[in-house]
Amino acid sequence: MATTARPATLGEWRRNVGSGAPVLRSVKDEMRANLLCKLETGAPLFDGVHGYEETVLPQVVNAILARHNFILLGLRGQAKSRILRGLVEFLDLEMPYIAGCEIHDHPLSPICRACRELVAEQGDQTPLAWLPRDERYVEKLATPDVTIADIIGDVDPIKAARGGRNLSDELTIHYGLLPRANRGIFAINELPDLAGKIQVGLFNIMQEGDVQIKGYPIRLPLDVLLVFTANPEDYTARGKIVTPLKDRIGSEIRTHYPATVEEGMAITAQEAWTQRESSRQLVVPDYLREVVEQVAFLAREDKRVDRRSGVSQRLPIACVEAVVSSAEQRAARNREGRTAARIADVYAAAPAITGKLELEYEGELKGADAIARELIRSAVGRVFSRHLGQASLQPVIQWFEMGGELKLPEGATAAEELSALRRIQGLLEHVEALGASDHDAPLAAAAGEFILEGLWAQKRISRSEERGYFAERPKPPEPREPTGRPPRRPYN
């Protein structure tokens, strides 16, 4: 679109016979038309949203085609906000409005008094301005302290008195976020946290185009697509959403976590900051990315983790970033030019995991750190089975059973680690199954360490807290009750 050719007045716009000639159409009609166009040409919809191609996105498309206000119901970290922000792609690149209008009035149908007076006075000379589509999206996180003034607006008695106007005159309104989203998209995140009074206000605007502010009726026939997000349990809980508002939300669309580890890995790879400007080359082997993703999958199934809040996709994203940092830190300390992340780096990334788990009581007792370590260990076990389930690792286990012990300190260089791993006969011949080669020290060392960790995860060898591996020993008998202790008092 040629930005220089934009009409600067209402008259110029009227005379423009091209595609940009004046039409009065609602934002929902505009989005519908642009979406249909994209569907016909096969243009990509919702760039960067993965795993929803056959579930969520077709439902969002239907909602837009139906001109529905809609809500995305899902747990945290399910790309709800990303989808809503992606809706601007269905708006025109630029939209004309009456210059200076805070609520971006349509030149052919202004709703605020100032604009109506301006058009009546200046006619074709009324100046226009053009709004880029990014500025037509307004977003608000609902919290219990959000007020009518924040969302809809407030009346200013001083301004009213100065202008000699009646308080109910719209000229005295300080517009809130919703009127400022006029002719655009207004998104409210976590709708159930919005006070009932404001939900009623929203409903009135949607239904009748008017609303009461401090008891004064205000007429505001806004043209807005309203979209919301909510946690499904909060949304369906009785009394959280006023019924008339719920009735006016045309579509309820459920989001979900990635269905497969591969899908999750693709999302994480897209979002995580791993390509860092650095003179060092940092490689994160795929099997480690798989472990990180598997941690999120296992956490989502774990009964010690609160399922109502879910486990965000931000967990594996932050975790991969922390894994890279841990490898980067070691490489810098060791002054290595090329390094590969190791399983020890995943444990070092635990702070990126613990804060993202809402624990149930049982989990709280155990502690987030312990849960994170258990999840990593289980994830390693799964990934190890997938890649090396068929490998014959008996010689490696035997090496430990013959009394071999091996310590792999976190800070060891790749060369140091690899020479330690070489002592175990038959170990390094398996690194190829993990995409590594004996000739590439950083990758081979990382893969060798992962195999030992996998054997430990499957309880075929043992490991100390200090990353020392040794043979699995028969468990000592359970310690008996200490004899000196007074007997427990019975309850009855």
Would you count residue 222 as binding Zn ion (CB under 5 A)?
no
210-213 and 216-219 as β-strands: parallel, antiparallel, unpaired?
antiparallel
> At closest approach, how far in Å is the CB of 172 from Zn ion?
14
The footprint of Zn ion on residues 12-41 (CB under 5 A) is none
> At closest approach, how far in Å is the CB of 69 from Zn ion?
23
174 in helix, strand or coil? Answer: strand
Would you count residue 115 as binding Zn ion (CB under 5 A)?
yes
Residue 112 or 414: which CB sits closer to Zn ion? Answer: 112
> At closest approach, how far in Å is the CB of 313 from Zn ion?
41
Whose CA is closest to 265, among 235, 295, 223? 295
Whose CA is closest to 383, among 265, 484, 208? 265
For residue 124, what are the contacts with CB-CB under 8 A and spacing of at least 6?
9, 10, 11, 12, 14
Site pattern 62..101 for Zn ion (x: CB under 5 A): ---------------------------------------x
Q: Segment near Zn ion (CB under 5 A), from 114-122, 200-208, 306-314, 386-394?
A: 114-122
Residue 105 or 190: which CB sits closer to Zn ion? Answer: 105
Residue 109 or 278: which CB sits closer to Zn ion? Answer: 109
Q: Segment near Zn ion (CB under 5 A), from 102-110, 277-285, 312-320, 443-451?
A: 102-110
> At closest approach, how far in Å is the CB of 105 from Zn ion?
3
Handedness of CA 228, 232, 235, 236 (dihedral sign): positive
> At closest approach, how far in Å is the CB of 309 from Zn ion?
42
> At closest approach, how far in Å is the CB of 101 from Zn ion?
3
> At closest approach, how far in Å is the CB of 120 from Zn ion?
13
How far is the C-alpha of 351 from the C-alpha of 362, rounded, in Å? 20
Residue 125 or 147: which CB sits closer to Zn ion? Answer: 125
Q: Segment near Zn ion (CB under 5 A), from 113-121, 128-136, 164-172, 329-337?
A: 113-121
Whose CA is closest to 452, among 491, 413, 487, 406? 406
For residue 366, what are the contacts with CB-CB under 8 A and spacing of at least 6?
304
Whose CA is closest to 145, among 214, 81, 197? 197
Give, rounded to a whole angstrom, the gap between the first and last alpha carbons of the chain.
85
Residue 120 or 415: which CB sits closer to Zn ion? Answer: 120
Residue entry with tokens 């580890």:
261
Which DSSP symbol is given to 489? P
> At closest approach, how far in Å is the CB of 90 from Zn ion?
24
The footprint of Zn ion on residues 414-473 (CB under 5 A) is none
119 in helix, strand or coil? Answer: helix
Residue 106 or 356: which CB sits closer to Zn ion? Answer: 106
Residue 113 or 254: which CB sits closer to Zn ion? Answer: 113
Whose CA is closest to 356, among 394, 324, 314, 415? 314
What number of helices (H) and strands (E) belong to the chain? 21, 16
The footprint of Zn ion on residues 333-362 (CB under 5 A) is none
Whose CA is closest to 181, among 83, 248, 91, 81? 91
How far is the C-alpha of 253 from the C-alpha of 183, rounded, in Å? 23
Structure tokens given for 94: 């630029």
Q: Segment near Zn ion (CB under 5 A), from 107-115, 150-158, 221-229, 450-458?
A: 107-115
> At closest approach, how far in Å is the CB of 111 from Zn ion?
7
Residue 224 or 327: which CB sits closer to Zn ion? Answer: 224
> At closest approach, how far in Å is the CB of 171 from Zn ion?
10
Pick from 27, 64, 73, 112: which binds Zn ion (CB under 5 A)?
Answer: 112
Residue 118 or 320: which CB sits closer to Zn ion? Answer: 118
Q: What is the CA radius of gyration of the chain?
A: 31
Residue 115 or 340: which CB sits closer to Zn ion? Answer: 115
Total residues contacting Zn ion by CB under 5 A comes to 4
152 in helix, strand or coil? Answer: coil
Whose CA is closest to 78, among 236, 233, 259, 227? 259
Which DSSP symbol is given to 1? -
> At closest approach, how far in Å is the CB of 2 from Zn ion?
26
> At closest approach, how far in Å is the CB of 308 from Zn ion?
44
Pick from 105, 190, 271, 321: which binds Zn ion (CB under 5 A)?
Answer: 105
Please report, to the nearest 10 degrees, the dihedral formed by the alpha carbons of residues 213, 217, 220, 221 taken in order.
140
Residue 106 or 467: which CB sits closer to Zn ion? Answer: 106
Q: Segment near Zn ion (CB under 5 A), from 109-117, 126-134, 217-225, 341-349?
A: 109-117
468-471 and 406-407 as β-strands: parallel, antiparallel, unpaired?
antiparallel
How far is the C-alpha of 233 from the C-alpha of 158, rounded, in Å? 44
Residue 170 or 190: which CB sits closer to Zn ion? Answer: 170
305 in helix, strand or coil? Answer: strand
Would you count residue 155 as binding Zn ion (CB under 5 A)?
no
Residue 22 or 232: which CB sits closer to Zn ion? Answer: 22
Site pattern 250..279 for Zn ion (x: CB under 5 A): ------------------------------
Structure tokens given for 245: 């508002």
> At closest approach, how far in Å is the CB of 7 from Zn ion?
18
Provide the binding-site residues for Zn ion, judged by CB under 5 A: 101, 105, 112, 115
